[in-house]
Amino acid sequence: MPDSLPYAPLQADALTVDAISFSYPNGHRVFNAFSLNAKPGEFVAILGPSGCGKTTLLNLLSGFQQPQSGQISINQTAVRPERSELGYVFQAPQLFPWLSALENVRFGLRMTAQLNEDQQRAQALQYLRLVGLESAAQRLPHQLSGGMQQRVSLARTLALEPSVLLMDEPFAALDAISRN
């Protein structure tokens, strides 16, 4: 037997959806015993027409909604929306109107209290730079275009460096150059 294996040992699933079922209060069933496993580093895209349940699935994966049966876990721990290893970029920007772009990106970092203030600012600026908005750091959301607001939302989520990143049509408001 060779000393090294030609493949990496199996890793735990980053995201596990185990036989979830979900229906809306009006009785409309969206999922029935749906399962999914995503490994660390894996990209999973959910495609389908409007109204088929894509956003509902993301809301279940994030813990914003609960399935009637089955379980959802991140790194083998039950999903909850306040977990810092879970990042969610919504379809429309969800920014605090009274905070600058920099402070909107820094917000999640402040809530986790894992970095000091200078480190938070540096990390927030790093992610604003990544989305091409370092020069807009001091602008308020109403001073930014819709696409710029969405990039701030993306930077805020990425700044947390989550294990699992959920995105609900995050690039819809972006121009082709920014999407690339």
DSSP string, 22-52: EE-TTS-EEEEEEEEEE-TT--------TTS
Give the pLDDT confidence score for residue 174 in this predicted structure: 67
The angle subtended at Cα 24 by Cα 20 and Cα 28, nearest 5°, is 95
Q: Is residue 104 part of a domain?
A: yes
Q: Write down which residue in 60, 78, 96 finishes a domain.
A: 78
Residue 59's φ and ψ, nearest 5 degrees, are: -65, -35
Note the maximum CA span of the chain.
64
Residues 141 and 101 in one domain: yes
% residues pLDDT > 90 (the chain): 48
Residues 69 and 109 in one domain: no
pLDDT for 162 beyond 90: no
Summary mean pLDDT of the chain: 86
Tens digits of residue pLDDT in 10-21:
455 678 999 999
Tens digits of residue pLDDT in 33-89:
999 998 888 888 888 888 889 999 999 998 899 999 999 988 888 888 777 778 888
Domain of residue 150: give its range. Answer: 86-179
Answer yes or no: are the C-beta atoms of 21 and 33 closer than 8 Å.
yes
Instruction: Please state, in angstroms and rounded to a whole number, the distance separating the CA atoms of residues 166 and 45.
Output: 10
Residues 105 and 160 in one domain: yes
The CATH number of the domain holding residue 102 is 3.40.50.300
Residues 99 and 70 in one domain: no
